[in-house]
Structure 1
Amino acid sequence: MKLTFLGTSAGKPTKERNVTALALEFDQDNKWYLFDCGEATQHQILRTSLCIGKLSTVFITHLHGDHCYGLPGLLSSKKLDKAFSPLTIYGPKGIKHFIECVTDTSQEHLGYTLKIVETEANSRIIFDKFVLRVLPLVHSVESFAYFIQEHDTTDKLDEQKLRLAGLEPSPLYGELKRGNSIMHKGKEFLSKDYMLSPLPGRSLIVAGDNSKPDILGAYLENLDLLVHESTYTQKVYDALKTKFLHTTAKKLGEAAQKHHIKNLIATHISPRYSRGSSCDAEMICREIKFAYKGECFVAADFDVFYLDRKKKLQKL
């Protein structure tokens, strides 16, 4: 499971960070998924190995501009690239009107099938690689987290055992994977005798803007990876004259520790945390780690992470 951060700033772009967007790829898959699409996301994609033509689905967490204003350009460029494969967009109520308003006003004829689904909190959607649940968050507008539970892998053969039994790799392996028994040189091979134990699927939450991490409740418990906003340090937030419904590094670290989250990536960083200023992103990291003892990163644009089958997160 590979994650590529295309934008990690909160509210507006900076010289170091673009606004929110995250690409997710699964092992042995020919497509990828996009979570949020802030302004200029298509420019960010051009600086990676990702291809718009292989983009399958977009998930929008909420309708603030720094999370969705990149959609019109992305949809238009997909057409210009002659990438006519279907695309599905999931998001809260209002996403359909937003997209149709732009495409109708500009008289944009996309030339490919665009499906827009206005989803609701607590919805459950099944994909070929995973099951996704839409979870409600606390923000100034309706905001979602997307919980992903990867399917267990059950089609792995014990090839060493098969070779020892006299069956070398061949199309017969495919029959065994499909659960069929086979005959080879007068010997019967039963599928169940040569299948490895299923590998448990990985679990991930990609959260939109949210002031209360604990609202995710049981979905956080022993989660393999949480991607969550950490807009401010607590000291900065406490000093704000106007309070916004965002999470602080302190709250995020405490929630992650409380629920035994295995790995954590903080994103959606306030523009005030920049290199050369009195505040930098390391302050976010230090505050999280004061409470949280698991693996923790503060994402920067173009950071790539891999969560392996053993649930270990590494920065590539």
Structure 2
Amino acid sequence: MQLTFLGTSAGKPTKERNISALALEFEQDNKWYLFDCGEATQHQILKSRLSIGKLDTIFITHMHGDHYYGLPGLLSSKKLDTAFRPLTIYGPTGIKKFLECVIDVSFENLGYTLEIIEFKAEETFTFEKFSLKILALEHSIESFAFYIKENDITNKLNEEKLRSIGLEPSPLYGELQRGNCITFQGKKIEPKEYMLPPVRGRTLIIAGDNSRPEILGRYLEEIDLLIHECTYTQKDYDHLQVKVLHTTAKDLGKAVQERHVKNVIATHINPRYSNHGADGVDSIYGEIKQYYKGRVFIANDLDVYRLSKDGMVEKL
């Protein structure tokens, strides 16, 4: 499972960071998924190894512009690229009205099928390789997280055991994987006797803007990866004259430690934190680590991370 951060800034772009967008890919798949689509996301895609032609589905966390203003340009460029693969957009109430207002979403105009689905909290959607549940967050408007559960692998054959009885790889393997009995050398072979134990699918949460990471509750419990905003350090947040509903590094660290989250990638970094300035992202990383003993990464634009089958995250 691979994640490409296309935008990691909070609210507005900086010289170092564009605004929110994240791509998700699964192994041995010919498509990818986009989570949020801030302004200029299509420019970021051009700088990556991703192709608009293989984009299958877009998920929007909430209706703040830095998370969806990039949609009209991307949808139009998809047509200009003659990338006519059907596309589905999942978003909160209002996403359909927005798109119908700014572009003609008909097939006649776009040249491809565009389906727009408005979701509500607690809904679950099923895809080829995973299921996705909508979780409500706490923000100044409705905001949501996506709990993603990869399908378990339940049809992996014990090839070593099959070879031990003389059955080499052949179409008979496929029959066993489909749950069918076969006959080999005059003996009936039951598929369950030659199956390996199920391999648990990976779990992750991709969250929108949220002031209380602990609101995710039991869904955080020992998940493989949480991707969550971390807009301020606690000190900087405390000194804001006008408080905003965003997460601090302290609150994020405490929440993920309590629920034993295995890996955390922080994003949605306030523009005041520069990779080269006096207020650096190291302050965010350091504050999270004061409270959390697991693996932490601070995402930068165009960073690529891999979540392995054993639940380990590495930056590529």
The normalised TM-score by structure 2 is 0.97
Structure 1 segments of 4 or more deviating over 6 A?
Answer: 105-108
Q: Could you tell me how far 1:189 is from its partner in structure 2?
A: 2.5
Q: Tell me which residue corresponds to 1:112.
A: 112
Paired with 1:214 and 1:275, the residues of 2 have a C-alpha distance of 28
The 1:105/1:297 distance shift into structure 2, 3 A limit, reads: closer
Paired with 2:108 and 2:179, the residues of 1 have a C-alpha distance of 48
Paired with 1:13 and 1:304, the residues of 2 have a C-alpha distance of 19
Q: Could you tell me how far 1:79 is from its partner in structure 2?
A: 0.9
Q: Could you tell me how far 1:108 is from its partner in structure 2?
A: 8.5
SS at match of 2:152: coil
Q: Tell me which residue corresponds to 1:54.
A: 54
Give the alignment of 1:84-163 within 5 angstroms.
Answer: 84-104=84-104, 109-163=109-163
Counterpart residue identity of residue 45, structure 1: I
Give the alignment of 1:249-288 within 5 angstroms.
Answer: 249-288=249-288
Q: Tell me which residue corresponds to 1:238.
A: 238
Q: Is 1:31 matched with 2:31?
A: yes
Paired with 2:108 and 2:288, the residues of 1 have a C-alpha distance of 45
Counterpart residue identity of residue 48, structure 1: S
Q: Tell me which residue corresponds to 2:79.
A: 79
Tell me if the contact between 2:267 and 2:299 (Cα under 8 Å) persists in the aligned partners. Answer: yes
Paired with 1:165 and 1:50, the residues of 2 have a C-alpha distance of 45
Percent identity (aligned): 66
Tell me if the contact between 1:233 and 1:250 (Cα under 8 Å) persists in the aligned partners. Answer: yes
Q: Tell me which residue corresponds to 1:4.
A: 4
Paired with 1:58 and 1:233, the residues of 2 have a C-alpha distance of 30
Q: Tell me which residue corresponds to 2:214.
A: 214
Q: Could you tell me how far 1:184 is from its partner in structure 2?
A: 2.6
Paired with 2:6 and 2:83, the residues of 1 have a C-alpha distance of 20
Paired with 2:4 and 2:276, the residues of 1 have a C-alpha distance of 25
Counterpart residue identity of residue 205, structure 1: I
For residues 92-112 of structure 1, give each alpha carbon's deviation from its aligned partner in whole angstroms, at most 9, with x where no partner exists. Answer: 100001111111399981111
Paired with 1:174 and 1:209, the residues of 2 have a C-alpha distance of 45
Q: Tell me which residue corresponds to 2:178.
A: 178
Q: Tell me which residue corresponds to 1:223.
A: 223
Q: Tell me which residue corresponds to 1:302.
A: 302
SS at match of 1:205: strand
Tell me if the contact between 2:266 and 2:299 (Cα under 8 Å) persists in the aligned partners. Answer: yes
SS at match of 1:4: strand
The 1:27/1:242 distance shift into structure 2, 3 A limit, reads: same
Paired with 1:87 and 1:218, the residues of 2 have a C-alpha distance of 32
Paired with 2:9 and 2:93, the residues of 1 have a C-alpha distance of 24
Q: Is 1:190 matched with 2:198?
A: no
Cα RMSD (Å): 1.5
Paired with 2:107 and 2:241, the residues of 1 have a C-alpha distance of 43
Paired with 2:276 and 2:119, the residues of 1 have a C-alpha distance of 42
Q: Could you tell me how far 1:282 is from its partner in structure 2?
A: 1.0
5+ residue gaps, structure 2, are none
The 1:242/1:72 distance shift into structure 2, 3 A limit, reads: same
Tell me if the contact between 1:234 and 1:249 (Cα under 8 Å) persists in the aligned partners. Answer: yes
